Structure 1
């Protein structure tokens, strides 16, 4: 009994395999924002995380963002299991209802015009927090985009995060090294990256990168995006009750 408890604690702390075969537990859980309180916590996290690198814009990241509530937009958050603190967040906007924000600053290459696309923005992790939060948020975005039949995900990256995005399977949308000033990012120059949803698994496998096993070959019950679907699988349809 003690050994089982120790294993569970280790899984919570380090993301080691849990007791169920094929499952890996994380020290945090990932969900979709559904309440104002959750969104407030995400805004506070953004202010803290982005304020480290962009102190002159820190306050603006803590303000309400209309896009968070817009059609075609989904916000994910990572919550520490022990403290309940929001430790990471990311936002996905699809072009189903409106062009992507990034399209205000560039013309898409021909191969992506007319396709169902998404853009990941506001990817933030609480400074100093350990664990694969950024990778888990990218996995959440990947699973969501698969469900939404998205062809590719675009992202604008500062130089400081470029290596992280590349390790997560993103590649340059244009020629290597080209910077694009992004209107929705204060006009600051960014690398524009793309992750092809069709080839993402094969690309990650060919690179033999750490995200392949995590994103494509491991079941993480703590990445919980489809609770309603899971409820249906576990319990079936509820019987109709007469009034």
Structure 2
């Protein structure tokens, strides 16, 4: 199994790119794939508001990532990262952070969405890798996610842990009051904690030039 002792770094090219959506048209592409993904699972009455950018998309301390096909430039996925540098995390409207986390540099990954495409699982994994390294660069200590089933199990496989073990799912105001499992990853220990993870080399020993976080 790949691990911390795996040797040389590798360079891997992807059939898509991941970058920060800076321009208005980039953000709209992210919004479109976001809305389409949510509309596949939720009623139109709930997802109607996702057809346009949300105020949080423009807030300071926020980055919206966009994955695009190299073939035709179509949007393949998106996620949003919000830090607590300028305002509390959206999660905190409905969820009290523990004392050991409150006041620390935190970021929350939200609005994760992928298009129905052959590379959707890879797109999701690469976007989460990009989010991790964006948070590392920004000095974030804890990365938080809130997920419904089965996405929560995917986060667990990426070694996210429950903030309050045994608490279960809690309704979140910004997520249509649907129950979510709230989990976290500690940036400083992620590399050591994941030393025996099958994605370790992909995450830490592989350079992906198609990820652009500037």
TM value normalised by structure 2: 0.91
User: Which structure is higher in strand share?
Assistant: 2
Distance 2:136 2:160 in 1: 16
Alignment map for 1:101-180 (pairs within 5 Å): 101-130=90-119, 132-176=122-166, 178-180=168-170
Secondary structure of the 1:48 match is helix
Alignment map for 1:189-200 (pairs within 5 Å): 189-200=179-190
Aligned to 2:42: 54
Instruction: Report if aligned partners of 2:10, 2:205 keep a CA contact under 8 Å in 1.
Output: no
Secondary structure of the 1:75 match is strand
Distance 1:201 1:110 in 2: 24
Aligned to 1:225: 213
Distance 1:180 1:45 in 2: 26
Aligned to 1:234: none
Alignment map for 1:36-115 (pairs within 5 Å): 36-56=24-44, 57-115=46-104
Structure 2: gaps spanning 5 or more residues: 1-8
- Considering only aligned residues, what root-mean-square deviation do their CA atoms show, in Å? 1.4
Name the structure, 1 or 2, with higher relative contact order (CA <8 Å, separation 6+).
Answer: 2
Of 185, 193, 199, the residue aligned with 1:203 is 193
Larger radius of gyration: 1
Distance 2:17 2:96 in 1: 36
Instruction: Report if aligned partners of 2:67, 2:78 keep a CA contact under 8 Å in 1.
Output: yes
Distance 2:186 2:90 in 1: 18
TM value normalised by structure 1: 0.80
Instruction: Report if aligned partners of 1:74, 1:92 keep a CA contact under 8 Å in 2.
Output: yes
Secondary structure of the 1:26 match is coil
Greater shift after overlay, 196-205 or 30-39?
196-205
| TM superposition shift of 1:164 | 1.4
Instruction: Report if aligned partners of 1:27, 1:80 keep a CA contact under 8 Å in 2.
Output: yes
Structure 1: gaps spanning 5 or more residues: 1-20, 227-243
